[in-house]
A = this chain, B = another copy of it.
Amino acid sequence: MKAVETGPPLGCAAVMLGVFRAALQEQHQPVTQQREAIAQALFESGRHLSAEDIVEKLREGGESVGKATVYRTLNLLVQVGLAVEHDFDEGFRRYEMSAGPSRHDHLICTSCGVVVEFQRSEVDDLMGEIAEAHGFHVLTRQVKLYGLCPTCDEAADADLTRAGLR
């Protein structure tokens, strides 16, 4: 078995790429090498990538794409629903493959910056109910919990204790 860097099921990227190609053709938009490369980079990583991350990833792979094209393609991916935009308060945006109906949300540590994903059907249910109650037709959501991860929380506690004992 081959070692793989990161997460998504093998073959998933290929399927997503097919969907992307189909979506482009349906809108009479050209399927260019750059668009495929950018989409593939995002799908293969399966994580939260910045535009810069993608430029770098592709450069490492020997492909050269302009930053502007990366932004344009990412917007395209968001439009057709194959990617979602995230803002983790870093001063720039990150993008992530959107596996359609599989919704998940994030816990973000404001101290060390670690991002933990979680998935709870109760969130889907509750948000759906709220949207309905307000007559909104919700397409996407951003549920982010900011605070201290267990490690940083413990460290902060230790600091406080030390200060208290001083």
A residues with a Cβ closer than 8 A to B are: 85, 87, 89, 107, 109-110, 116, 118, 120, 122-123, 126-127, 130-131, 133-150, 153
Contact = CB atoms under 8 A, between A and B. Distances in A.
A158 to B, nearest CB: 13
Given A138-B147, A141-B146, 8 more contacts: A87-B89, A107-B134, A107-B138, A123-B130, A135-B149, A136-B145, A136-B150, A143-B143
Contact of A145 (B89, B109, B138, B146): B138
Q: Which of A87, A107, A126, A136 has the most CB of B within 10 A?
A: A136
B146 A140 contact: yes
A120 B126 contact: yes
B146 A143 contact: no
A120 B130 contact: yes
Contact of A134 (B89, B118, B127, B138): B118
Contacts of A138: 107, 145-147
A137 B153 contact: yes
- Residue from A131, A143, A150 whose CB has the most chain B CB atoms within 10 Å: A143
B147 A135 contact: no
Contacts of A148: 136-137, 139
Contacts of A120: 126, 130
